[in-house]
């Protein structure tokens, strides 16, 4: 990663996060902004920002409302940071283009793991954002999915494209598309982001798996 932009109006928190990013990504340039206006100005100059960590509460605007515009202004992966852990806020951020949602209560190691997942092309939604409603054990599989569909689900949650899933599972891309459609139907959703949200809401732990006999 070449550049990361941290957006938070609390200088102390921003400085602490910047130090964590510098330790984890020593080759990266860490940029900082405390307002939406400063964020837009930095993005106009630094077109190669790869990761944008965005607080939702900023003095000159609401980060959630600004997300679509920021998403259009940069190719960076945008990850929201917030003390708001309500499911409706998480959903709104993902629908607006965020690639992840980090509660400010998240520990340092968990935060870094989430950032790594996003940088690898995945989407991060913490199960804790759904509180007690994550009623199923973390290891319980989706009862309506076949073993192959659960394999595909793991790669969907990791943010992999159909072509990548086909390669990793050694199956045809058309077969992947068929499984993805079946997964959408099983969850009652219309897109991949909604699948990620549903997996997190149920508290399921799904990991990418590789070749399995059909």
19 C-beta neighbours (distance < 10 Å), count: 11
| pLDDT tens sequence across 52-84 | 999 999 999 999 999 999 988 999 999 999 988
Alpha carbons 86 and 114: distance in angstroms, whole number: 19
Over residues 145-184, the pLDDT tens digits come to 888 998 898 888 777 889 989 999 999 999 999 999 999 9
Q: Find the largest Cα–Cα distance for the chain.
A: 55
Q: In 10 A of CB 174, how many CB atoms?
A: 10
Nearest to 42 by CA among 51, 211, 137, 192: 51
- pTM > 0.75: yes or no: no
What tokens were used for 145? Answer: 């999915």
- Residue 77: enclosing H or E segment and its boundaries? strand 77-82
């Amino acid at each position: 990663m070449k550049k990361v932009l941290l957006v938070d109006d609390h200088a102390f928190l921003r400085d602490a996060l910047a130090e964590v990013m510098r330790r984890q990504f020593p080759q990266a340039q860490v940029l900082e902004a405390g307002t939406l206006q400063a964020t837009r100005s930095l993005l106009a100059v630094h077109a190669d920002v790869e990761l944008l960590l965005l607080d939702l509460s900023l003095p000159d605007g609401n980060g959630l409302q600004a997300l679509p515009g920021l998403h259009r202004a940069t190719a960076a992966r945008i990850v929201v940071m917030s003390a708001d852990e309500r499911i409706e806020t998480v959903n709104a951020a993902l629908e607006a283009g965020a690639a992840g949602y980090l509660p400010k209560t998240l520990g340092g190691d968990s935060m870094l793991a989430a950032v790594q997942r996003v940088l690898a092309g995945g989407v991060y939604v913490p199960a804790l954002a759904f509180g007690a409603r994550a009623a199923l054990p973390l290891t319980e599989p989706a009862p309506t999915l076949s073993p192959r569909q659960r394999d595909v689900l793991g790669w969907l949650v990791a943010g992999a494209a159909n072509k990548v899933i086909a390669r990793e599972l050694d199956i045809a891309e058309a077969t992947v598309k068929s499984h993805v459609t079946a997964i959408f139907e099983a969850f009652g959703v219309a897109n991949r982001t909604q699948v990620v949200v549903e997996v997190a809401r149920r508290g399921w732990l799904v990991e990418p798996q590789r070749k399995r006999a059909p």
